[in-house]
Structure 1
Amino acid sequence: MKLKIAALILIAGTFCSAGCRKFLLVEPVDKLSGNAFWKKPADVEAYVSDMYGQFRDKLSSTSFIAASGELRSGQVRMSPETDDPVRRAYIDVAGQNDLLGLIAPNAKWNTTNFNFPSMTKWKEFYRVIQSANIMEEELAKRTIPELSTGDLNRYTAEAVFIRCMTYLFLVRLYGDVPYYTEAYLSKPLPRTNMVTVIDNCIADLEKRVNDLPWNYKDPSMRAVRATKGGALAMLMYMHMWNAGFDKGKKQEHYEKTVALGKELMQSGTYKLLPIEEFHNIFKGRSQEGLLEIAQNYNYGETLSLYASFSDMLLHVPYKSGHTFSMGFFRASFLRMLYPEGEQDMRRLLWFDQYMLADNGRFMFLKFTNVYAHAGEGGNPDDNVIIFRYAGVILLTAEAMAETGRTDEAVALLNIIRDRAGAPRYIATGVDNLRQAIYIEQAKELMGEGVYYFDLVRTGRVMDQKWCYYPLSADQFERGGWTWPLSPSVMDNNPLMTLNNYWTN
């Protein structure tokens, strides 16, 4: 059965050959699965599980989370003591936004393990989207006798959830992208304005959010499968992205984010764990988790060795074979987030005495659960966090600050600061509140792959206080925050264009 599912997904996701004149073509359903599939709940469960697997494989293709969401801020530097200075130079290259240098095929890091050119290719993401579209259509037109109406609606909602999650990643990477929900598309598509893409995803997910459960009976599915809480969080992040680019409707997006955040918090489904239990948060499947990509070192279910952010910010005893860390967060950045003399348990738990060393002695201890021992060479197996409850609280606080709900925003900000053992924030004006919330987001979500995207959506990517090598206003408008696209995306599609910032 596993081989059958793998073949099904491969066919569903395979792009046209060089001789094909159709864009995003998939085989007709009678060739795809015949009469042997979509017959029982196990078929549906296997299909949706493989969709998550496809998404996970894309994140494992390179140091995806670090390269997309952390390194481009320039707040991480290569360690001067690294024992691999040629290959690990990518840390500084990414931080300078030299993405053409980062993806150069002859760069030493790409001729070995890192494969950064994969960041310019969206084919794997569209395989996930194709699979979701097929699943939505097949469930709508077929009768599966053993599948209840509730489960049918849940699986359909899960397909929509996965599709929207994938589009969110695509937009944050490339800006405008082709958008479609048709299962068996056979015509070329141009790129759609990213605001429209996100608006469409919001509309689709809103129709299905109530078909998703708050929780599953099986605890192993907590946070690693679509839930109503995960969908509400995704809607919030999509609204906040569009608030940064659709200026005429930003207040509407902020208001909707506040409403979604309140619904999620009032559900009583999620809670913040004590900060001393942070290992349980990042091990995964905790009551703080909303959406995660699962890893398990003991069972070999991990991202590739160089995909983990931990790979570059740890050394022995947490990273076997590395006397020094490959990189470090700049001390100037950390001093801004953690003022001298201000109490904060995250400072004590997530860093050691070399927090401000600006060299290879630095370690970031946030992700240090089960880790490899001498001779094993692996990374800690913490889950990859996509959304978690603390982030939702802070996002709600941000939207509240933008809609004049200052007291409510301060209250939410202080929930996170209380959990961290940090002094409570006292309101001193809306601009100071905005900054305090942003600092809290930078501290709380550090290393979780959202910092650069927050820089982009808030415009702080143009401010050296937050981005070490800031973009100019002109560079930002021309798409300097996007990733270059491989010319292969134009194969057999006369309507396709590349990201001009990287081609001119």
Structure 2
Amino acid sequence: MNAALLIGLSLQLSSCSNDFLEEETYGEVKPSEMTQAANVERAIISAYSVLNGQIDGASNAFNSPDSNWSFGDVTSDDCYKGGGGTGDQNNIHQMEIFNANSTTIDIVRKWMALYEGVKRSNEAMRLLNASTDFDPALKLKRAAELRFLRGHYYFELKKIYNRIPYIDETANTVADYAKSNTIFTSEELWGKIEDDFKLAYTDLPEIQTDKGRPTKIAAKAYLVKCYVFEKKWQLAYDASTEIMSSSYGLLSDFQQVFLPENDNNKEIIFAVQHSINDGQASSYNGSIGDRLTAPGGPFYAQYGFHRPSKNLVNAFKTNSVGLPQEDNIDVLNSDKVDPRLDITVGRPGIPYKDLGVLYSTTWARDLATYGEFAPKKRIVSAKSPFYVTVWPYVNALNYYIIRYAEVILWRAEASVEINKLEEARALVNQIRQRASNSTYVKTLDGTANAGNYNISTYTLPWTNSIEATAAVHTETRLELAMEGHRFFNLVRWGEVDSVMKTYLAVEKTRRTHLTNAFFTKGKNEYFPIPQSYIDGFAPGIITQNSGY
């Protein structure tokens, strides 16, 4: 399709799921046969296959990662870029100091990957609608899946770039793809994204045989996510009710949530399916977007990106009664800390995974620039059969787009906003109680806790909405740390300007690589629209985001 080519996106497929995605690419089928049921299924599979950000035969999906580690964590107070100094992937360094522009490769590649997902979803819808031999009942379900996928790709585009061109399945010519990004208001764009999830909810099943396909509850959860981004609090609260009473729930042990052998457990509402050793060249179905996050040391590649900030580590400190301390004073070995800290972050002197060794500052690449901490939560043990110990050093841990814990926190937010403060407290306490009941990281001999862990629930009633909101936001940060959500949450909360300026004022005294970092309100909440798209595909009809 010429219009698709003008978007500048490859038709080469790189499946990111497990068994049900291991199919022949639909680009290899004759055009005259495309509406045959089997080939339509392949077109649908292709819409799934770019969920992991891998859109071509290159190994640089780390410029468009499904986990958003560079877009959602590095740009926040949760972590530093890492790597071998500011010149190593300097493009991400520019994002970290808020100096990226419309030609930054990550900003361009992420746009390409997401619009490739939109395009494939739209084309699969067209083929599905035109097919005459597709089972009618299955057709409804597959159409719902495509609606869900398109909703996901547009949601990501909206939260990253804000003002975006909206193209639906009626697009057929070059002109149909050349759309302005100011045709629809922000509210209208959100409405279109909501509509996809509403329609998906209607026809999706309660249970999918193939892991990785969305369910009815996944569509409802994504709709809740839309509502909280739009601050439609009553709708978010009401929509979350069905999820609260569904078969989804919190896994009993926080540490067990992030093991690839537990992928698709009851807490995972929708995830990008990663797999390795499945016949795909270079294990591109694995966590290819996160391959630079390997923490170094004696077991991992010495890439060393996605490094937790000192500010994040300090956020896990607890007071004498086990509640967040929030003083941003450096954690000492004697300090009490939330047990999730040593599941989320590699700290010197604390055992790392099940490797039988203590994490050490010697693991840290460019220790002087980026400090001593390493990612840990989403790093797979080097001893695991789900980890590739050779290049490109990827793993089969799925990326969780929505997990049940996040829905609990969204409902808690909504509860505060509609003046159900005690319900919000009970919801936050569910998260904290799970953390308290989880298996703690132990010393190497297993005889004691590795840290001075201390966590409790909120026992006093919540009567002040401002304090309740702050508590929910803090819990959201702790629970979801290093999962790619932090920056986007700060933006939707309207806190990003104050939080980042306070963060940078202190961090510049700790980390010299942030000397030139400066967050500009009214600009840096969103990323620029790629200049190559403005000039090459839609000249004269695209309005660049403010400040770029």
Cα 1:305–1:34 change in 2 (3 A) is closer
- Kindly indicate whether residue 313 of structure 2 is the aligned counterpart of residue 334 of structure 1: yes
CA contact (8 A) 1:75 1:333 kept: yes
Q: 1:263 aligns with which of 226, 234, 242?
A: 242
> Amino acid of the residue matched to residue 397 of structure 1?
A
Structure 1 residues 97-138: Cα deviation after superposition (integer angstroms, max 9, x where no partner): 1113x955xxxxxxxxxx42534x634433322332233344
Q: Which residue of 2 aligns with 1:365?
A: 376
**Contact 2:81–2:306 under 8 Å retained in 1:** yes
Displacement of 1:330 after TM fit? 2.2
Q: Which residue of 2 aligns with 1:87?
A: 88
Report deviation, 1:78. 5.2
Aligned counterparts of 1:143 and 1:99: Cα–Cα separation in 2: 48
Match of 1:233 among 221, 238, 247: 221
Q: Determine the C-alpha separation between the residues in 2 that align with 1:469 and 1:496.
A: 37
Change in CA separation of 1:176 and 1:88 when aligned onto 2, cut-off 3 Å: closer
Moved more, 234-243 or 160-169: 234-243
Structure 1 spans left out of the alignment, 5+ residues:
1-9, 18-31, 105-114, 244-252
Aligned partner of 2:301 in structure 1 is 320
CA 1:496–1:337 in structure 2 vs 1: closer, same or farther (change >3 Å)? farther
Structure 1 pair 55–277 and aligned structure 2 pair: CA distance change class (3 A): closer
CA drift of 1:388 comes to 1.0
Letter in 2 for 1:450: H
Distance 1:377 1:54 in 2: 18
Per the TM alignment, residue 48 of structure 1 is displaced from its structure 2 partner at its CA by 1.3
Q: Which residue of 2 aligns with 1:195?
A: 187
Following the alignment from structure 1 to structure 2, what is the Cα–Cα distance between the partners of residues 473 and 360?
Answer: 20
Supply the AA of the counterpart residue of 1:231.
Answer: A
Q: In structure 1, which of residues 225, 242, 250 is the aligned counterpart of residue 230 of structure 2?
A: 242
Instruction: Please state how far the C-alpha of 1:306 moved relative to its aligned partner.
Output: 7.0
162, 172, 176: which one aligns with 2:159: 172
Deviations 1:228-257 (A, max 9, x none): 1221121111111122xxxxxxxxx11111
Alpha-carbon distance in 1 for matches of 2:388, 2:46:
31
Equivalences for 1:112-191 in 2 at 5 Å?
115-116=105-106, 118-119=108-109, 122-144=111-133, 147=135, 149-186=136-173, 187=175, 188-191=178-181
Partner of 1:26: none
Match of 2:458 in 1: 425
| 8 Å contact kept, 1:164–1:201 | yes
Q: Which residue among 66, 69, 72 is the counterpart of 1:66?
A: 69
Provide Cα deviations, 1:333-371, integer angstroms capped at 9, x if missing partner.
Answer: 321243365553312333344389885532221113254
Are residues 214 and 103 of structure 1, via their aligned partners in 2, closer, same or farther at CA, if it must alter by over 3 Å? same
Q: Deviations over 1:168-220 (max 9, x none)?
A: 01111111111132433443321133331111221232133121122223xxx
Q: 1:166 to 1:46 in 2, by over 3 A?
A: same
The answer as to 2:404 corresponding to 1:389 is: yes
Q: Percent identity?
A: 19
CA 1:338–1:48 in structure 2 vs 1: closer, same or farther (change >3 Å)? farther
Contact 1:174-1:499 within 8 A present in 2 as well = no
Aligned-CA RMSD value: 3.3
Q: 2:39 aligns with which of 33, 39, 43?
A: 43
Matched, 1:212 2:204: yes
Distance 1:326 1:211, change over 3 A: closer
Counterpart CA distance in 2 for 1:379 and 1:348 is: 22
Q: 1:416 to 1:466 in 2, by over 3 A?
A: farther
- The residue type equivalent to 1:133 in the other structure is N
1:108 aligned partner = none
Select the residue among 415, 436, 443 that pairs with 2:430.
Answer: 415
Cα distance change, pair 321–202 in 1 and its aligned pair in 2 (3 A): closer
Once the two structures are superposed, the pairs formed by residues 50-61 of structure 1 within 5 Å of their partners are 50-58=46-54, 60=61
Indicate the residue corresponding to 2:273 in structure 1. 294
Deviation by residue 1:125-169 (Cα, 9 ceiling, x = unmatched): 333223322333443343225x1x331111011111111111101
| Paired residues of 2:287 and 2:398 also in contact (CA < 8 A) | no
Task: Assess if the C-alpha contact under 8 Å between 1:39 and 1:144 holds in 2.
Answer: yes
User: How far does the alpha carbon of each residue in 1:288-336 deviate from its partner, in whole angstroms, 9 at most, with x for none?
Assistant: 111211222333544688731x6346222452346xx445322233212
Contact conserved, 2:161 with 2:529, CA < 8 A, in 1? Answer: yes
Output the CA distance in 1 between the equivalents of 2:89 and 2:539. 38
Deviation of residue 96 (structure 1)? 1.6
The answer as to whether partners of 1:321 and 1:377 remain within 8 angstroms in 2 is no
Partner of 1:483: 527
Give the SS at the match of 2:52: helix
1:464 aligns with 2:464: no
AA in 1 matched with 2:88: R
Once the two structures are TM-superposed, the CA of residue 51 in structure 1 deviates from its matched residue by: 0.7
CA separation of 1:370 and 1:330: change in aligned 2, threshold 3 A: closer
Match of 1:347 among 317, 341, 345: 341
The number of residues matched between the two structures is 445
2:499 aligned counterpart, secondary structure: coil
Q: Report the 3-state secondary structure (helix = DSSP H, G, I; strand = E; otherwise coil) of the residue aligned with 1:412.
A: helix
Structure 2 vs 1, CA of residues 274 and 327 (structure 1 numbering), >3 Å: closer, same or farther? closer
Letter in 2 for 1:351: V
Whether contact under 8 Å (2:220, 2:243) holds in the other structure is yes
TM-score by length of 2: 0.72
State the TM-score, normalizing by the size of structure 1.
Answer: 0.78
| Contact preservation (8 Å) 1:319, 1:377 | no
Residue 203 of structure 1 aligns with an amino acid whose one-letter code is D
What is the aligned partner in structure 2 of residue 307 from structure 1?
Answer: 289
Residue 414 of structure 1 deviates from its aligned partner by 0.9
The one-character-per-residue Cα deviations of 1:359-394 (angstroms, maximum 9, x if unpaired) are 553222111325457665614432122111111111
AA aligned opposite 1:315: G
Aligned pair in 2 of structure 1 residues 337, 412: CA closer, same or farther (>3 Å)? same
Report the Cα offset of residue 485 of structure 1. 2.0
Q: Report SS of the residue matched to 1:286.
A: coil
| Structure 2 gap segments, 5+ residues each | 9-28, 56-60, 320-334, 351-359, 362-366, 437-454, 506-516
Mapped contact 2:79–2:308 kept (Cα < 8 A): yes
